[in-house]
A and B are shown apart, each in its own frame.
Chain A
């Protein structure tokens, strides 16, 4: 184990380097030595030493403090121990101020050094274990966000693992509320880009010009109010993943721009003349039937094929009913703890109601329904009466349908939801059981001011 923790001894005196290295090697450490600061920097660049013993006074060139600072430039986490033969309070303070982990006066007791080395390495080991566990936890957490025992969904989860480390574009299709963003996150956080940015852009939420500057950034003076240069989402996602939600809603011009980025990984900022190169993985999602959009000439065929390298189709919740109890229990646990309300679970009768519902808003609708039930629940267990409003809403014979077109009906439902929620789009979209980007899309389509 100790061999995994190499140690560097930096001193201009051969005898010091040689004897210290021999003593540490007896303890099982891999030890290298450097006669001066320059050599130490060279070695540090190539090897991540767990501890660097650096002599304070080295004639000619860099002294111990300068060497330590350079080591820290290359390896910010390196533990540097400054050694000196002459202890003065000033030098000790300076060494510690500049980032030395310890300051020791030679000669010192073997026990002191032995304890110092094992203390530092114990800390290093804990830090390294902590980093590994955090990484594992992030990955697990991302996958545990998707709760399913449905074979099709499980296949999709294995597919996300398989494609996670590729750079290929992924197109996720599914109705609103089926968890397209969650799957996109699972792909990103399971792959080699997990520690790089994951940037979400809701294409339906913005107008063409706004979306263009949002995606590609802009140069100073590109338009009124562009007071300085700004990076776009593609640049912010460099090295990582960009998730383009509701890709089916982008304008023909942006379709052409996006195609160019996908082909060449290069673009111009709005108002810019210099090309920007990026390494970004694109994951796009839509609830539209893109092949049909292509057929009807609303979506570029070449862009469709560029996006559709790996296609993931998410089933609607009504197609994976066996997941309803699992998801409902998960939401009860999570939401009750978030709201600080003690709710044990769902009664069999309540579950029956949930199983019978069609869930047009899919998992998001289920989540909202559970939240509403928890808020109004009075006896620590969600029962059938807590979902009575859902049954009433779902009972078609109780509806009073005005004699208008389906579109008009939808428009009225949106206007009513916005009024009830005082213009708050997030809350209105939750009440309607659709996501925000879909609501923005509909607001645009029905020209509803908000």
Chain B
């Protein structure tokens, strides 16, 4: 599938929650949606920001289920967030897993009960590390069917 990289986007002030010192993911997702080129079927944002929603204290990422927008935060994937030395290889692994996860949602996949599957729910960093950088066979098959039904690129 063809993939295009867009230049960085300026964040709207409304996305920042000064009280929580975090960014409201829903605002950033709206921004991504507005900036997605016309022929794009999916748009993925990678933000080096600590994301949240009003109800939850943080998010590793968020996506529109069966929609076109996905967003992943680097902030809590970094070892430095937990007071540890930087580890680029681990960050890349974690980012891959979260991208697979959020993109899976945009293709209609919901959380998988298979702990090793990239689609399993992660509510803390240990759960992200426990996952593999791939989908389980069931989620993989479901995703392949959905991708095959698409005509456009990502």
Contact = CB atoms under 8 A, between A and B. Distances in A.
Interface of A: 2, 13, 15-16, 18-20, 22-23, 25-28, 53, 83, 106-111, 113-114
Contacts of B26: 15, 18-19, 22
A63 B62 CA distance: 29
13 contacts: A16-B53, A16-B54, A19-B25, A19-B55, A20-B53, A26-B62, A26-B110, A83-B55, A107-B52, A107-B56, A108-B57, A110-B56, A113-B56
Size class of the contact patch on chain B: 20 to 34
Contacts of A27: 110-111, 121
A19 B64 CA distance: 10
Contacts of A18: 26
Contacts of A83: 55
Interface string B3-27: 0000000000000000010001111
Contact of B59 (A2, A15, A108, A110): A110
A106 B55 contact: yes
Contacts of B63: 22, 26
Given A23-B62, A107-B56, A114 B121 contact: yes
Contact of A22 (B57, B65, B110, B124): B65
Given A15-B27, A22-B64, A27-B121, A109 B110 contact: no
A114 B56 CA distance: 11
A19 B123 CA distance: 16
Interface centre among A18, A19, A23, A106 (most CB of B within 10 A): A19
Interface of B: 20, 24-27, 52-59, 62-65, 105, 110-111, 121, 123-124
Contacts of B20: 107
B24 A15 contact: yes
B54 A106 contact: yes
A30 to B, nearest CB: 11
Nearest to A83: B55
Contacts of A111: 123-124
B62 A22 contact: yes
A26 B124 contact: no
Q: Is the interface of B mostly helix, strand, loop or mixed?
A: loop
Given A19-B24, A19-B62, A109-B123, A26 B111 contact: yes
Nearest to A3: B110
Contacts of B105: 26
Given A15-B26, A20-B53, A28-B111, A110 B65 contact: no
Nearest to A13: B54
Nearest to A110: B123
Nearest to A106: B55
Nearest to B104: A26
Minimum-distance CB pairs A-B, first 4: A19-B53, A28-B110, A111-B123, A110-B123
A198 B90 CA distance: 69
Contacts of A16: 53-55
A106 B123 CA distance: 16
A16 B110 CA distance: 21
A20 B55 contact: yes
B58 to A, nearest CB: 7
A19 B54 contact: yes
A23 B54 CA distance: 11
A143 B124 CA distance: 53
B53 A23 contact: yes
Nearest to A111: B123
A157 B130 CA distance: 58
A345 to B, nearest CB: 50
A26 B27 CA distance: 18
Contacts of A23: 53, 55-56, 59, 62
Interface centre among A83, A107, A109, A111 (most CB of B within 10 A): A107
B77 to A, nearest CB: 15
Contacts of B55: 16, 19-20, 23, 53, 83, 106-108, 113
B105 to A, nearest CB: 5
B56 A25 contact: no
Nearest to B52: A107
A110 B111 CA distance: 14
Interface centre among B27, B65, B111 (most CB of A within 10 A): B65
A42 to B, nearest CB: 23
Given A28-B110, A107-B54, A110-B59, 20 more contacts: A2-B110, A13-B54, A15-B26, A16-B54, A19-B25, A19-B53, A20-B54, A22-B62, A22-B63, A23-B53, A23-B59, A26-B105, A27-B121, A106-B55, A107-B55, A109-B57, A110-B57, A113-B55, A113-B56, A114-B121
A107 B121 CA distance: 19
Contacts of B53: 15-16, 19-20, 22-23, 107
